[in-house]
């Protein structure tokens, strides 16, 4: 953390999109941040159909409802900062994504009592990156929306291959089968706000949601900064 502060002091941020100087600890300038279109809806976790009333209208057996603040495709500023968010010493980028997530989450999430659970990273990848980007975002959402967070309620029990190396939903689902375990003492009868940085096929969120459901969780909303597709 100290090293990060030092790096940020030596190299103040420039906007990842246009190169202009940014506000303190922002990865995008105000103009580029404001140019990112945010969503107004919740989505089906399986097919990404809009759920205007927040009620499932298709794929009723999908264990979660997707809350995605923005879309990854056709959105270069988001693509740039999410890619950068995966590098070492780039945990500070979470604040920029948090600024997009906060107004969206306030608009679409039901007024219910939630417990925040970040998607855990495998030990090896966490070590390589130095931090878990889902946990960084979960801390920011917890602080901004005043929702309690339980870091260890959901755990990864299988080291999986990087999803990006696998094509197709079936392969991705097989890779993640039984990858997670949830602590029923912490999640039983709770509504869960599951947090990750980005979702593509939804296989990770689905596998984690199944583990949470098996441990007795009630409703699950998966909140991400962007969805692909």
Binding site for Zn ion (CB under 5 A): 15, 17-18, 29, 32, 44, 46-47, 49, 58-59
Q: How far apart are CA 35 and CA 120, in angstroms?
A: 31
Q: How far apart are CA 153 and CA 34, in angstroms?
A: 35
Query: What minimum distance in Å lies between the beta carbon of 226 and Zn ion?
Result: 18
Cα 33 to the center of its chain, rounded Å: 18
| Complex with Zn ion: residue 30 or 177, whichever CB lies closer | 30
Tokens 């009333």 label which residue?
53
Phi-psi region of 182 (alpha: psi -120 to 50; beta: other; left: phi over 0): beta
Query: What minimum distance in Å lies between the beta carbon of 31 and Zn ion?
Result: 5
Query: What minimum distance in Å lies between the beta carbon of 22 and Zn ion?
Result: 7
| Complex with Zn ion: residue 22 or 90, whichever CB lies closer | 22
Query: What minimum distance in Å lies between the beta carbon of 153 and Zn ion?
Result: 27
| Complex with Zn ion: residue 63 or 118, whichever CB lies closer | 63
Query: What minimum distance in Å lies between the beta carbon of 55 and Zn ion?
Result: 12
| Complex with Zn ion: residue 17 or 196, whichever CB lies closer | 17
Convert 99-118 to b/e letters by CB count within 10 Å (16 or more is b).
bbbbebbeebbeeeebbbbb
Task: Tell me how many degrees the CA angle 136-227-58 measures, rounded to the nearest 5.
Answer: 125
Query: What minimum distance in Å lies between the beta carbon of 185 and Zn ion?
Result: 32
Point out which residues pair with 50 in neighbouring strands.
43
| Complex with Zn ion: residue 46 or 156, whichever CB lies closer | 46
| Complex with Zn ion: residue 59 or 188, whichever CB lies closer | 59
Nearest-10 crossing angle of helices 169-176, 203-214: 40
In the chain, the DSSP E strands lie at: 42-44, 50-51, 65-71, 114-118, 154-156, 180-182, 191-199, 220-227
């Amino acid at each position: 953390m100290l090293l990060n502060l030092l790096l940020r002091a030596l190299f103040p941020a420039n906007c990842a999109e246009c190169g202009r100087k940014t506000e303190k600890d922002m990865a995008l300038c105000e103009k580029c941040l404001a140019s990112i279109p945010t969503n107004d809806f919740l989505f089906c976790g399986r097919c990404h159909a809009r759920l205007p009333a927040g009620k499932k209208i298709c794929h009723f057996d999908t264990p979660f409802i997707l809350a995605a603040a923005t879309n990854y495709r056709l959105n270069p500023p988001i693509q740039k900062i999410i890619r950068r968010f995966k590098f070492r010493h780039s945990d500070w980028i979470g604040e920029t994504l948090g600024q997009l997530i906060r107004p969206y989450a306030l608009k679409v999430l039901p007024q219910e009592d939630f417990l925040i659970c970040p998607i855990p990273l495998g030990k090896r990848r966490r070590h390589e990156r130095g931090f878990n980007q889902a946990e960084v975002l979960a801390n920011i959402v917890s602080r901004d929306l005043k929702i309690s967070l339980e870091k260890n309620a959901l755990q990864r029990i299988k080291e999986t291959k990087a999803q990006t190396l696998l094509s197709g939903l079936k392969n991705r689902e097989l890779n993640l089968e039984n990858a997670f375990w949830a602590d029923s003492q912490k999640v039983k009868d709770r509504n869960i706000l599951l947090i990750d940085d980005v979702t593509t096929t939804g296989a990770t969120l689905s596998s984690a949601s199944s583990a949470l459901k098996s441990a007795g969780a009630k409703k699950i909303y998966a909140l991400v900064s962007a969805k692909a597709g």
